[in-house]
Amino acid sequence: DTGVSQDPRHKITKRGQNVTFRCDPISEHNRLYWYRQTLGQGPEFLTYFQNEAQLEKSRLLSDRFSAERPKGSFSTLEIQRTEQGDSAMYLCASSLAQGPWETQYFGPGTRLLVL
Amino acid sequence: AQKVTQAQTEISVVEKEDVTLDCVYETRDTTYYLFWYKQPPSGELVFLIRRNSFDEQNEISGRYSWNFQKSTSSFNFTITASQVVDSAVYFCALSEADRGSTLGRLYFGRGTQLTVWP
């Protein structure tokens, strides 16, 4: 069983450019999460999907951020008009939510550097 | 307010020493879940353990053990006979449950960087 995969693993962009990240969850996992982690901090929740539906968005997710999971499988996270403050590791996790028993499994992350 | 506090930013030990990583959490929910994850230098978070609020039994898995105490809102993690491969950042996390179902998001502490020297 393959784990969560993310692409690209690293991205360097100039301020003002748009970037898009992809996450492929563990097959048959119905939930998919996005987190952001800055240096020296723990991951912070951004948003999550159950199947195709986006169930919750953090206040951290400004209007420049948008996430989709169109067919309930892979997900994309787009950042428009990037700012230097967007530099971080973007982590994706997936889980099989069956009542209270849920464990999130994380991908390797996409490290973004905005110059 | 921080829901999960890991007061130890960095810990250094010599191989074969025992080490305990502290985690204190804060929640008003009666049903919640606690987790520990390991983040090696490669960056990927590796799941170690999940505990629900109704199960205060301590757990041991090989060299790892966890001590959950609701009275002090703590969920501490001990590595016995540490090894160099244990060097990583360790995160404690909390998920709050609504009517028995997880709400989804995890609240992470800031992590403890553990360095094990040979």
- % of chain A at pLDDT higher than 90: 81
Q: How far apart are CA B79 and CA A58, in angstroms?
A: 34
Please give the single-letter amino acid code of residue B105.
Answer: R
Chain B residues within 8 A of A23 when measuring between CB atoms: none
Subunit contact A45:B52, Cβ cutoff 8 A: no
Rounded CA separation A105/A54 (Å): 18
Report CB contact under 8 Å: B91, A43.
Answer: yes
The residue type of A2 is T
Mean of the per-residue pLDDT values for chain B? Answer: 91
Is residue B13's pLDDT more than 90? yes
In the predicted structure, residue B118 carries a pLDDT above the cut 80: yes
Q: Angle A33-B77-A41 (CA atoms, 0-180°, nearest 5)?
A: 45
Cβ of A94: how many Cβ atoms within 10 Å?
26
CA-CA distances (angstroms) from residue A51 to A67, A73, A89, B94? 13, 7, 24, 23
- Pick from A45, A100, A109: which is nearest to B102 by CB? A100
Cα dist. B73→B3, B20, B32, B70, B102 in Å?
Answer: 11, 16, 12, 5, 19
DSSP at A99: T
Q: Does B110 touch chain A (CB under 8 A)?
A: yes
List pLDDT tens digits, range B69-113.
Answer: 999 999 999 999 999 999 999 999 999 876 555 568 899 999 999
Is residue B65 within 8 A of residue B58, CB to CB? The reply is: yes
Residues of B with CB below 8 A from A54's CB?
none
With a cut of 90, say whether residue B54 has pLDDT above it.
Answer: no
Asked if A99's CB is within 8 angstroms of B110's CB, the reply is no
d(CA B40, CA A43): 14
Locus of tokens 């506090």:
B5
Spell out which residues of chain A touch residue B45, defining contact as CB-CB under 8 Å.
43, 91, 93, 106
The tens digit of pLDDT for each residue in B19-45 reads 999 999 999 888 889 999 999 988 899
Per-residue tens of pLDDT for chain A, all 115 residues: 589 999 999 999 999 999 999 999 999 899 999 999 999 999 999 999 999 999 889 988 889 999 999 988 999 999 999 999 999 999 999 999 876 678 999 999 999 999 9
DSSP structure class, residue B72? G
Distance (Å) from the C-alpha of residue B15 to the closest C-alpha of chain A? Answer: 24
Chain B residues with beta carbon closer than 8 angstroms to that of A45: 105-107
Question: Could A106 and B45 be called an inter-chain contact, meaning their C-beta atoms sit closer than 8 Å?
Answer: yes
Please state, as a whole number, how many other Cβ atoms lie within 10 Å of the Cβ of residue A89. Answer: 20
